[in-house]
């Protein structure tokens, strides 16, 4: 290959997180495991009960197993927003 074209390194694409609707925002690589911190790409602020727009309340962390990279168990640390509807007081997670 005389003129190779390289793209910018992208952890989201390399780990196939874009297929899950996630984007990588950090990583922790240890000798025996890897952790990738992620956030959802799209937001979901609409209440399914009354249709009003919810207000962001806080975030919740989820730990999910992912396919191993480099012979290490890989964990996704996904931070999702929690919303509260001002009209019907329902709460939900992204």
Compute φ and ψ for 13, nearest 5 degrees.
-75, -40
Tell me, yes or no, whether 83 lies in a domain: yes
**pLDDT tens for residues 9-43?**
888 988 899 999 999 999 999 999 999 999 999 98
Helix, strand, coil share of the chain (percent; to 5): 5, 55, 40
Q: Which stretch of DSSP H or E encloses residue 78?
A: strand 72-85
Tell me, yes or no, whether 5 lies in a domain: no
- Residue range of the domain that includes 24: 11-93
* Segments in the chain forming alpha helices (H): 11-14
Tell me, yes or no, whether 89 lies in a domain: yes
Compute φ and ψ for 14, nearest 5 degrees.
-60, -40
pTM: 0.79
Tell me, yes or no, whether 46 lies in a domain: yes
Number of domains in the chain: 1
**pLDDT tens for residues 29-80?**
999 999 999 999 998 889 889 988 999 999 999 999 998 877 889 999 999 9
Tell me, yes or no, whether 1 lies in a domain: no
Q: In the 8-state DSSP scheme, what is residue 91?
A: E
Tell me, yes or no, whether 3 lies in a domain: no
Tell me, yes or no, whether 6 lies in a domain: no
């Amino acid at each position: 290959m005389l003129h190779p074209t390289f793209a910018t390194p992208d952890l989201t694409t390399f780990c196939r997180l874009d297929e899950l609707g996630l984007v990588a925002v950090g990583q922790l690589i240890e000798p025996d495991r890897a952790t990738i911190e992620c956030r959802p790409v799209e937001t979901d602020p609409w209440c399914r009960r009354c249709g009003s727009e919810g207000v962001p309340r806080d975030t919740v962390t989820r730990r999910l197993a992912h396919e191993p990279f480099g012979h290490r168990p890989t964990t996704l640390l996904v931070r999702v927003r929690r919303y509260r509807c001002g009209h019907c007081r329902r709460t939900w997670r992204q």
